[in-house]
Amino acid sequence: MNQNKIIEEKILRGRKIGGLVVFLYILLFIGSIAGIIYCVANSVDDNPEPLALFIACIAFIFFGWIPLCGLKVLKPNEALVLTLFGKYIGTLKGDGFFFVNPFCSAFNPAASTHLGQSGDVSTKRIISTAGGQTATNIEIASKKISLKVMTLSNSKQKVNDVLGNPVEVAVAVMWKVSNTAKAVFNVDNFKEYLSLQCDTAVRNVVKVYPYDVTDNVDTTGDGEADDGSLRGSTEVVARRIKEEIQSKVEEAGLEIVDARITYLAYAPEIAAAMLQRQQAAAIVDARKLIVDGAVGMVEMALERLSEKKTVELDEERKAAMVSNLLVVLCGNKEAQPIVNSGSLY
């Protein structure tokens, strides 16, 4: 059975000699021009032209530029994966002016992939011209791999929570390339691979949690109900999403630095119903608090009247007093007093 070959990253060192190569090329080019002039000036009948020197100078002028193809310039936090006739020979890292085999070619399958994230620059640039016309300037996609921390902000996606309610979630993932060889050789396109794994991880984690705190729901997998929720446990959910993505992109040579939930809401089709449900729950909680307070105030009033013997109340009058006090304390509107000048009997 065939197995994929595991390629380990190999850093090319001692290649920062680009300046020296350019200096030598300039000297040899000037020397070639001088050699041609010398050969032409001394090409007389009694002194034949030194043919070998002349051919060497001409050959250098026409083909001496080939080594210049091996010059590579890298800025900080950039890398270049090099292959020679299809074989991986190493990676250039760090800023500087490098010189490598001129027949080497840079390899980056994700160079032209743009996910609208930080670190991706469009390959098309619109240029305004005279007369209001526009022209498109096509830029060559760079084969360099950025080692900076980049942010991938995937679009909102609709996911069902543990109760089956549709929820819209968006996640921002901070990531960077930690192993260039794995990134370009182990997966077809590491940017698209990361984006797909982000979507999958969000779905796998969100479906474990309810949107809000719900009874009898186990979100940790320990078999016991807890109070975890998407709205109340944002940090925990984001950490689980980060760990889920990291476990999937390890083989692609990527490192997930952080993950954050940037958008969380019920889907539009149930948002209004869920808002009414939240409002109803809030009203019930408020009424419960009001009734508890009113009952306590009525009990205190009866105890004070009984202690000071201000008035003697039988059971029927106590019931009437309790009813009146509860109406006054629990009513939504201000109570209107009624003066009774007669007797209850």
The model's pLDDT over 134-174, given as tens digits with 9 standing for 90+, comes to 444 444 567 899 999 999 988 888 888 888 888 899 999 99
For 250, residues 6+ apart whose C-beta sits below 8 A from its C-beta are none
Could you identify the residue written with the tokens 């990291």?
Answer: 246
**118, 144, 320, 338 from 124: Cα distances, Å:** 16, 18, 83, 81
Count how many Cα atoms sit within 13 Å of the Cα of residue 65 in the half-sphere of its side chain: 3
Residue 99 to residue 79: CA distance in whole angstroms: 14
Residue 120 to residue 112: CA distance in whole angstroms: 9
Could you identify the residue written with the tokens 């060497």?
Answer: 56
All structural domains of the chain, each given as residue ranges with its CATH number in brackets, are 18-107 (no CATH), 147-266 (3.30.479.30), 275-330 (no CATH)
Q: Global pTM?
A: 0.70
Predicted confidence pLDDT, tens digits, the chain (345 residues): 445 666 788 998 888 898 999 999 999 999 999 988 888 777 655 555 577 888 888 998 999 899 999 999 999 999 999 999 989 999 999 889 999 999 999 999 888 887 766 555 444 444 444 444 544 444 456 789 999 999 998 888 888 888 888 889 999 999 999 999 999 999 999 999 999 999 999 999 998 888 887 777 878 777 787 888 888 888 999 999 999 999 999 999 999 999 999 998 888 876 666 676 666 667 777 777 777 777 777 777 777 777 766 666 667 767 777 776 766 666 666 666 665 555 555
Instruction: Output the pLDDT for position 213.
Output: 79
- Given a contact cutoff of 8 angstroms between Cβ atoms, the answer to whether 325 and 301 are in contact is yes
Look up residue 111 and give its two tokens: 């160079």
